Structures are given as C-alpha cells and as structure tokens.
Structure 1
Amino acid sequence: MSRLCPSMSPVCVPRTLRLLRQLFPGLPAAMQRLYSLDVSAPLLRTQGYVDGRWVSAASVFPVLDPATGQEIARVSDCGPAEAKQAVDAAFKAFQSWKQRSAKERSVLLRRWFDLMTNHKEELARLITFECGKPLQESLSEVAYSASFLEWFSEEARRVYGDIVPSPNKDRKILLLKQPVGVSSIITPWNFPSAMITRKVGAALAAGCTVVVKPAEDTPLSALALAELAEQAGIPAGVFNVVPCSREKTPSVGEVLCTDPLVAIVSFTGSTATGKVLLRMAADTVKKASMELGGHAPFIVFDSADIDVAVRGAMASKFRNSGQTCVCSNRFLVQSGIHDRFVEQLGRAMDAELRLGHGSEPGTTQGPLINSRAAEKVVQQVSDAVSRGAKVLKGGKRLDGSFMEPTLLADVTTDMLCTKEETFGPLLPVIRFNTEEEALAIANASNVGLAGYCYSQDVSQIWRVMEALETGIVGINEGLLSTPEASFGGVKESGLGREGSKYGIDDYLDVKYVCFGGLKP
C-alpha cells in the first residue's frame, strides 16, 4: 500500500493541530506555519479585479485547504452585477487593445511571463494550499502556466493573413485576421493557473480582452495572476477576474455566456456543464472553445516494454492524484503480459506514492479537491467489487478528502469505473486478447480527449494511433502536455484546440476583402 508521510499522516493533520493547541501552546505556531498560507503574502489577493481596480462584493465566500479543511482566505463573492461590470470594462478596453501592435502585445505578455517565473515559489504555494497538489507538482504547473504566456507572446507576431491569387485581373483578394472581441474564460480547479494562461495568453495575443471566472475552489491563483498582470503593465480592462461562490456560479455564468458584448466563451470542465454553456451561448451565436471531459484508454500490448509502460502508467494516472482531464482512466493490458504488468505496477505504487499535505517534503499524493470527489471514487470501487473486481492496492477513503491510490484487477466493461471519468487515484485493469478487442473497448465512449498506446511494433503503433478516437495520442509516453502542441478532443470532449499555433485561431475572425477596380 502507498505510504503515509511519516512525520504527519494526512488523516491526522486537523486533529493533531487541535491537540497541539491544547497541550503545547508554544508549539502550534510552528506547526501552523507548515500547514497554513501566509496571509501577508504579496500575491494573496481576495477581491475581484475589474477594469484595473480591486473591487469588493457585498459578501465573501471561504476558500478551504482540501487537505485539512481549514479556511485559507475569504474572497469577494462577485455576482451578476460585477460580472456585467467586467464585461463592459473588457468591451471598452477592447477598442484600444485591438489597436495595439502585435509587438506591443508581445512585449507585455513576455513581461507577464517573466514576473510569473520570478514569483514561481509564491504562486506554487497558493496552488498547493487551494488545490491540494504536492508543492513539486505546483512548481511544475507554474512553469507550464508561464510557458503559455511565453509561447503566445511569440505567436502574437505570427498572426498572418493571406493574399490569394484572384481569377480577375482588376481585383485583389485579401484574407485578414482580426480579434473577435471580449472573451469569457471559465476555468476549473485542477490546474488553477495553467488553464487560465492557456486561454488568456492566446486571447490577449490575438488582440482580445478577457473576463475570467475561476473555479470557486481555487480563485487565489487567478487573482495572483491579475496582480502580476497589473505589474506587467497589462492595461485596465484587458484582464478581469470575477471570483464567486458555487451558489452564484450559475448567475455569473449566465452573464458571461449571454451578454451581447461577449464574442466567445472558452470553458474547461465537465461535458455536462459545457453543454449548458453552449446552450446559453447559442442565442447570440457566440464562438465557443470547449475542453470537456475525458475517459482516456491506456493500452499495453504484449510487445510493450513493461518498465516503460509502468512508468507511463504511474505518471499518467497519479499526477495531481488522478485529477487531470488527460489522466488514464481505463487500463487495457494484453493477456500475455497482464500478470507481470499488474505485479510490477503494484510494486511501483508501494515504492513511489506517499500521501500527505502538499506542502510537506516527500508528498506525491495530496487530497482530492473535496469530499464529493472522494465519495465518487469510493462509489466506483464499491461498484467494481460488487461486480467481481479485486482490490490489489488501497481502496479506502481516509479522513477528509484523502483517498488511497487504488489498483483493481479483474475489471470488466460493465463496471462504473469503465463507463465514466473517475478524476481520482483509481487504476482499473482490464485484460484483453486482441488488438481489435482493445480498440473496440477504447472507442466505446462518447468522449475522446486523450489515449495512450504502449507497443514496440511499429505497424501496430501506426494502426492504433490512427484508429483511436481521441484528439491526443501518447505513444510510449504518459505525459503529453506542452504549449507547442495542440490540446483538445473529439466527440463530446469539446470544440476547438488550445496551445500550439492553432490555439490562437478561436480568438480570430477571418475577414475577406475584395479589392476591386484596379487597372491591370
């Protein structure tokens, strides 16, 4: 079983702090510092950010550390009024921002990137405390997040149009690319910084302005980005942030998806929520960029290098405690190597995974974002066991939202864990016999974001790569994301692409200009 951090079990964090306060009045302060966020941190902002000003709402909502359940901060609970103010500010700012030269926008985005890099430790600590992921992963997210600002600062100067040969001698055909306008950016909690910059970097590079609604669980990272944007010199109204509670999310989302001044809605989250937002955006025929749910198959063929496949499985499944949209969700292992793969994977889980508070050195597995997330994993495990699956590792929920990394064998396709996305540290293994069988199982889903294939047979790799119904394929590799490559899915996994040279396209319109009356 995966180990607990020896100095402080995640199960014991809240009760230990309470006990220390009672028994050792002088000691808890030091312990509190380990498991608490510095409220005087320069990037810890708790107000909304609209039109270059920090604004307070009529009420606040708490942000909790998912590892301990303790309150980190209270953040302004913005509502429809603040959302409308932000849209109006973004629309006003768009009139001047779109006139800026590509080089000017590039310089400002690069300055923002530099500030993120300089403040990476502070940003990472915010992510760890509001999201729960281990500090080392949070540092990686900050680097990944900043890389989108760097990438799109360069792409800003490469928004090329076309001059198309005309069939008539007296006219010229010009295809111009122009920014679409105000962009509503609605982001999830699992990558509270990177999911913002991947969208905002592209939007600002294109000449658009944005209103960001971060997830209610993780608003602090978004507000820290606003602080650094201001320091970078991003003009007032170009980047706005309206944090809100779960209760106000529907009304704020409605403004951001229906206001006539908004030109595009960009959302990352569940397929179910994405469909709701698309319906709201449809009345005013807005552009939409949707990065929705995943259910990634991870196929290991008999020819695979087992060591490489196990490393890939560990990286793909247990990053951020299994809470990524490209996490492998269904592990399909061919009969010839099934037993060896499962045995070696179990050993790797024992050796490499340690549960604990994300700020504690050595932690590789933090909590899930909340108790609802943990309960979902428990439900999937219970369902699988009731249908004949065997728990080889883990399987138990611990205090709060901690969940033991879990390995299931004898999994079949009628089990809940093979039908819906888990978003947790559950690794179900399905045995298969033929390539055709594996592809049939892999493609039997209404979503198609990422898929993985492990094989050393080049012909097989090519066949499977083309046959997988996903927008992203990893061949003998479990970690895929990079700003240089496109990110997005097929089927009900979404619309459009983020990152890469294609990531800026959703924020641009193509205008055809027919320049006639020319003398040959």
Structure 2
Amino acid sequence: MTSKELKALGIEVENLGTSTGSKWFSKGGLIASYSPTNGKLIAKVQSSTKKEYEKVMQEAEKAKLEWRDIPAPKRGEIVRQLGEKLREVKPLLGKLVSYEMGKSYQEGMGEVQEMIDICDFAVGLSRQLYGNTIHSERPGHRMYDQYHPLGIVGIITAFNFPVAVWAWNAALALVCGDVVVWKASEKTPLCAVACQKIIADILKANKLPEGISSIVTGDKGVGEWISSDERIPLVSATGSTRMGKIVATTVAQRLGKSLLELGGNNAIIVTPSADLKMTIIGAVFGAVGTAGQRCTSTRRLIIHESIYDKVKKSLVDAYKQIKIGDPLDIKHHMGPLIDTDAVDMYLNALEKIKEEGGKLLTKGEVLQGKGYESGCYVTPVIAEVENHYEIVQHETFAPILYLIKYKGELEEAIALQNGVKQGLSSAIMTNSVRESELFLSQNGSDCGIANVNIGTSGAEIGGAFGGEKETGGGRESGSDAWKVYMRRQTNTINYTTNLPLAQGIKFDL
C-alpha cells in the first residue's frame, strides 16, 4: 500500500494505539507492524500502559450511562452510519487487511463486506430486541421478560480476521446499549487503528461520548487487564483454545460472562454419492483460503474408500493449479502466513506427520526468491494420515489438509469427524437425503456449524456463528446471538387489590 492510501485510513508512520473516540494517547513501547507480503515495515503503534487503560475504562464507565438511555433504534442509526462509511472505504480497508494480515485481496474485501452485513443486520435488530409476554397462574397478574444493556463489553480479537470479528461484536453490542473496549491482535494493530478512526468520526459528528468505542493496544497483558476487570461483565474473546481457557478461567473467577470463539479442526465427509466437482472446489478453498489460517479452515477430508483414490488424484491435480504470491494481486489464490513463527509451526507439523507415519502427497516447503522475500510464503500440503495421530488431533494454523479413509457406513465417518476435541464447523458432501439428515441429526455432527454440500468456510452473518467442546461454546453474529450482550429480566405486575401467592401458597395475617 502507498503512504497516501494509509494516510486516507488515518495511518501515519507512527500511530498512537490507545483511544477513546477520537482522543488518542499512548506512552507504552512501540509495536511494529510488518507486512507478511513483502516483509516491509508498514507503521508503528504505541502500546498502552495500565494508567492509560484506566483512563479508557473511566471514559467507558461514563459513556455507558448516556448510551444506554438512548432508544435502541437511535443507537441503530449510529451503526447504520458505520455501515455506510464502511461501504465508502471498503476498497482501502480491504486492501489494508490484505496487506497487514496476508489474506488475498478478494478475502480482504469480503471481510469488510462482513462488517457491512453485520451493521445492516444490527440496524434491523435495533427495532427487534424482543422479550416475551408470559401468562401468569395468578389472576390479575401480567408477566413478561425484557432485556437491558450489560454496560461495557470487552472484545479480544485474533489476527486472522482483524476487522470483521470486532464488527460482529461491536455492531450488536452497540445496538444493545453497550459500549465496547477492544484489544486487537498485536500482529494486526493498524487494522484496529483504522476501524477506531472510522467510528470515532461518526461518534464525534453525532456529538456522542468518546467512550462508546475504545481501543487498547498491546500484548497479552492487555487481555489480562480486560479479563480480570470487574467493570466488564462480558468478555468476547477469539483466538486459540489455550488463550480461551485462560480468559474463561479469569472471567469465571469474578463470575463474569465470556463469549469464546476458539480453535477448529474442521472436516468434510465425502460420501460415495457426492458431487466430486463441488467437493474439490469446497475442499481446496476451505484448505488454502487465508493460507489455512481461518478457524473454519478445512483440516480433514474423510473420504469413503470407494472414491478415495479418485478424490485424492483430483485434489493433487487441483493443488498444482494454486497460484501463490502477493495477495494484492488477484491472480493469486493464496498469500503468505502471518509471520515466520507461523512458518516454523507449519514446518514442525510436516515433520510430525512423517514421524507418526503419515505420507505427504504434495511437497511442503518455504518459497524463496523474487516475490517471496518476507519468508512467509509456503506451499499448501495434502497428507494421508490416520485420525488418531496426535498432530491431526490438534489444530495447525496452516494450509495442511489431511486425507482420512473410511470403509463402512456413514456412522463411521461421523465418529471420525467428531473424534477430535474441537467442534466448530463441519460439512458433508452427499446426494442422499438420508445421509444429509443423519449428519444433521442429534446422532450426527457435534459441531456448532454443520453444512450439506458446501465447505466448512464462508459462514453468513445471518446465522449464529460458533462451536462446541474446545471451540468454547460461544455464539456471535446472527440469529439470537444478540441476547448474550444483554441481561435478561423477568417482570411480574399485580394490578389487583389482592396478593395471591404463586403455587397456591397461603400466608394469611
């Protein structure tokens, strides 16, 4: 990206990394953001001190009192304006996502579109924060439940979706009457700065409190501050299972609520009746999209033995067509991994596969030469393995696709799919109604997302997003996921002159 393009998003060579609204202040050490596309320094962001974090929280505490009293449809109007501004900056912000994170430009644009979509969803939701009317067993009584804002929502996001996950949380939290404090990944701080500048301008134009939206930049220490802060009733954290367990434990110790979106180990089951052309497209995109760095990336392909060799050959042939390079060049299917630490993890995984008896069907290597100077470009790998291998049981955030054979009925494949600790996304490729219904039944996939004849990646915002087991059990985005951002209250009103007790209890004086 050019300096002019960065400046248009509010990014200079050095940026302050702590903000309430449009007020920026930081005195911590510098965090340098290097592009994995070329290894060049993009800009530096100053990290936050504990004193600055306290200032953010004080502003958030004040802002929540005013924000919660604004009618929900008017809060929705602010989110509508955010969506409109995102439409204006979509090409630039999408480019920044691609440049700082490394995903393809099309995927960067798609991520900003997710932000726009969730804003549209939240605007409609602002007039639909419904409670229920409940029939009372006592005459002359009315019961109902309603939802109130929680207050402050802490948001901790990962590098792989540096803007969309913030928007999923922020758009819903804002229409629900909450204010937000965001700790973005230290690997993609500039995306957070750009988003904060966008929403800060909207808040300022509408003469709203600065503390409605804040960011606090830094390492895991900032996440620890948020997780342990009793002023934050809800912490939404996206990242590794290891990180999620720490957040969940810390938040639970103070009886707060956590919304966790953690690791995935996603599988596609390929049955004998599957449309193989669709299967190959879904599997390849799921495995190499974002260089395998999506929580919904396809990690395992569980294939019936009768079609195993045919699917294997088609996949190997398809991988020969994958173009790897600068993600801003739309001719490329796959960009780099986020950094050289991720490359080391990829290489270690390949060694582990071979040590456990697996076979690499495509060569795994770090690309070198012109265009690959960052040292973060690798080739996608297909490997034949057994589901019980230790390396297969764990999520590796890299473009490694495991092929696993099943021999019997669909129940065997489902058992293999469910036989990992993660439970985020799953899919089946089949033309059998019976197979698809079994897969979606209580005896089928144990994941939070289960698809038929599409891959594991590419969820729409209209449905609740999240998974079970070590994925954390959280739900974000669509459906009724908004309820986690609010506190539920049951109300009973007696409009008579008598005081009958529930359950027919008599208490006469």
TM-score > 0.5, shorter chain as reference: yes
1:133 to 98, 103, 108: 103
CA change 1:58–1:388 in 2 (3 A) is closer
Is the counterpart of residue 405 in structure 1 residue 380 in structure 2?
yes
Is the counterpart of residue 419 in structure 1 residue 419 in structure 2?
no
Partner of 1:242: 216
Partner of 1:447: 422
* Separation of aligned partners in 2, 1:312 and 1:361: 19
SS in 2 for 1:504: helix
Q: Report Cα offsets for 1:28-64 as digits up to 9, x if no partner.
A: xxxxx67x88553333262221254122323321011
* Separation of aligned partners in 2, 1:286 and 1:226: 26
Residue 87 of structure 1 contacts residue 262 of structure 1 at CA under 8 Å; is this kept in 2?
Answer: no
- Matched letter for residue 469 of structure 2: K
- Matched letter for residue 426 of structure 2: G
SS in 1 for 2:357: coil
Distance apart, 1:414 and its partner CA = 3.8
- TM-score normalised by structure 1 residue count: 0.89
SS in 1 for 2:36: coil
Residue 27 of structure 2 contacts residue 46 of structure 2 at CA under 8 Å; is this kept in 1?
Answer: yes
2:153 to 172, 183, 198: 183
- Matched letter for residue 421 of structure 2: N
1:329 to 261, 282, 299: 299
Partner of 1:155: 125
* Separation of aligned partners in 1, 2:113 and 2:6: 24
- Matched letter for residue 453 of structure 2: N
Partner of 2:445: 468
Is the counterpart of residue 507 in structure 1 residue 485 in structure 2?
yes
Superposed, which structure 2 residues align to 1:420-435 within 5 Å? Answer: 420-434=394-408, 435=410
SS in 2 for 1:418: helix
* Separation of aligned partners in 1, 2:243 and 2:237: 9
Residue 22 of structure 2 contacts residue 197 of structure 2 at CA under 8 Å; is this kept in 1?
Answer: no
Distance apart, 1:313 and its partner CA = 0.3
Residue 265 of structure 2 contacts residue 298 of structure 2 at CA under 8 Å; is this kept in 1?
Answer: yes
* Separation of aligned partners in 2, 1:518 and 1:394: 79
- Matched letter for residue 111 of structure 1: Q
Superposed, which structure 2 residues align to 1:273-288 within 5 Å? Answer: 273-288=243-258
Distance apart, 1:161 and its partner CA = 1.6
Flag structure 1 segments of 5+ consecutive residues without an equivalent.
1-32
Superposed, which structure 2 residues align to 1:51-70 within 5 Å? Answer: 51-70=21-40
RMSD (Å) for aligned C-alpha atoms: 1.7
Superposed, which structure 2 residues align to 1:10-409 within 5 Å? Answer: 38-44=5-11, 46-47=15-16, 48-233=18-203, 235=208, 236-244=210-218, 246=219, 249-250=220-221, 252-351=222-321, 353-399=322-368, 400-409=375-384
* Separation of aligned partners in 2, 1:298 and 1:37: 43
* Separation of aligned partners in 2, 1:271 and 1:327: 15
Structure 1 stretches of at least 4 aligned residues deviating more than 6 Å after TM superposition: none
- Matched letter for residue 475 of structure 2: R
SS in 2 for 1:355: coil
Partner of 1:488: 466
Q: Report Cα offsets for 1:235-284 as digits up to 9, x if no partner.
A: 3111101111x3xx22x122211222111100111111111011111232
Residue 165 of structure 1 contacts residue 172 of structure 1 at CA under 8 Å; is this kept in 2?
Answer: yes
Residue 288 of structure 1 contacts residue 495 of structure 1 at CA under 8 Å; is this kept in 2?
Answer: no
Is the counterpart of residue 438 in structure 1 residue 443 in structure 2?
no
Deviates more, 1:58-67 or 1:37-46: 37-46
- TM-score normalised by structure 2 residue count: 0.91
- Matched letter for residue 426 of structure 1: I
Residue 170 of structure 1 contacts residue 519 of structure 1 at CA under 8 Å; is this kept in 2?
Answer: no
- Matched letter for residue 393 of structure 2: K
Distance apart, 1:415 and its partner CA = 2.8
* Separation of aligned partners in 2, 1:80 and 1:283: 21
Distance apart, 1:116 and its partner CA = 0.4
* Separation of aligned partners in 1, 2:169 and 2:186: 18
Is the counterpart of residue 457 in structure 1 residue 428 in structure 2?
no
SS in 1 for 2:301: strand
* Separation of aligned partners in 2, 1:42 and 1:326: 29
CA change 1:201–1:338 in 2 (3 A) is same
Residue 109 of structure 1 contacts residue 149 of structure 1 at CA under 8 Å; is this kept in 2?
Answer: yes
SS in 2 for 1:452: strand
Distance apart, 1:470 and its partner CA = 0.4
Deviates more, 1:150-159 or 1:378-387: 378-387
* Separation of aligned partners in 1, 2:328 and 2:286: 22
Residue 9 of structure 2 contacts residue 93 of structure 2 at CA under 8 Å; is this kept in 1?
Answer: no
SS in 1 for 2:211: coil
* Separation of aligned partners in 2, 1:172 and 1:242: 45
Residue 146 of structure 1 contacts residue 194 of structure 1 at CA under 8 Å; is this kept in 2?
Answer: no
Q: Report Cα offsets for 1:457-514 as digits up to 9, x if no partner.
A: 1101111222111000111101441111110111121133111131211111111222
SS in 1 for 2:287: helix
Partner of 1:30: none
